[in-house]
Amino acid sequence: MIYKPYGKTGKQVSALGFGGMRFRREDYNRNPEICAEIVRRANRLGINYFDTAPFYCDSRSEEIFGLAFKDMPNPFYVSTKSGISNDPNADAVRRRLEKSLKIMGVDKINFFHMWCILNLEQYKKVIAPGGPYEGALKAKEEGLVDHICVSTHCSGPEIKQIVEEGYFEGITLGYNIINFPFRQEGLKAASAHGLGVATMNPLGGGLIPQKADYFSFLSDQPGEPVIATALRFNVAHPEISTVLVGIETMAQLEQAGKILREIPPLTPEKKNAVRKKISAKMDRLCTGCGYCEVCPREVPVSRFMQAYNINILQNKEKARNTLANHWGIPSDKADACIACGRCEEKCTQHLPIIDRLKEIVDWKVPS
């Protein structure tokens, strides 16, 4: 296993991190020990970063980790979270933290995340006096938390602003081989300010392996599965500390572990070659470069186009869910478009952005 520094914390974390949101319902309902043994096996393979949250897997994920932690073969770090929608103030965060500690049977949380920050307005509420951050900071002073981190779906420029204000020691953000331009500015800023970085959705939320034929052009070596190229792409970034993979089965764990044990990360040269393939081949998809963010009506064009990618590759319902649950953006925001054409003039993919925005209005994503 490859190990990398988690920012300035002094901790070395496994390049492959265990994402605890995809345990199979049939397994944990039948016997949660099935899932716990996957966690222990991951630890035997060298994984030491385990990420969970209170509501993952029908609120069973922390329970599964707690079961596994009773008999872990090697040292490990645990990451969990508190979301402002459920824990809006310092007292609520404290209650959430104490509950997580009890469920998982640990003395402290190594990486405690302010969870699912969708925009700068939410971020300001998190750090406001009496807010969630204040509760996390008090817990850190008492030794119940090692490092206060943030988990976010914000854009690159928004992430840059958050990390530059200096409240956090680490960050978890979505970053993968097909959306990297959307958050690249934020990733660079996080590294420059000494934050540890965990990346979620390195396989596009399962989209890359599900559409392996479509994305086969990304493969770096003849015959290499695109999943391997995608994981190696993230690991190749010196800014990224650990790459979180949501594990459902023992077979998936073994596959992911084998990739990082037996296949070296992409070299900088090959990583850049993959980037060029994205620009050259993804003619129907938004690459997330952000050049379209010139709307005089402040329509979040790049986010709408990222959601439209999911519409193309999967279906409209999943695209709607992304807008509603990842970004909290109602589709009627697209109706503010006045068809001035500025975004299309800037688009490197020459996408029909205006027509797509009109279509998105009809998705009727609630506010």
Q: 97-124: per-residue pLDDT in tens?
A: 999 999 999 999 999 999 988 889 999 9
For residue 320, what are the domain limits?
Answer: 301-361
What's the rounded Cα separation, in Å, for the pair 251 and 359?
40
List the structure tokens of 2.
Answer: 């490859």
Task: Return the closest-CA partner of residue 230 out of 269, 181, 268, 271.
Answer: 271
Same domain, 155 and 205: yes
State the average pLDDT over residues 76-100: 96
Domain annotation covers residue 285: no
The tens digit of pLDDT for each residue in 333-356 reads 999 999 999 999 888 667 899 999
Domain annotation covers residue 288: no
Domain annotation covers residue 335: yes
pLDDT at 74: 97
Quote the number of domains for the chain: 2
Least confident of 87-101, 217-231, 267-281: 267-281
Task: Return the closest-CA partner of residue 203 out of 259, 277, 121.
Answer: 259
Domain annotation covers residue 282: no
What's the rounded Cα separation, in Å, for the pair 212 and 215?
5
pLDDT at 146: 98
The tens digit of pLDDT for each residue in 132-145 reads 999 999 999 999 99
State the average pLDDT over residues 59-75: 97
Domain annotation covers residue 356: yes
User: Is residue 263 scored above 80 in pLDDT?
Assistant: no
Same domain, 31 and 170: yes
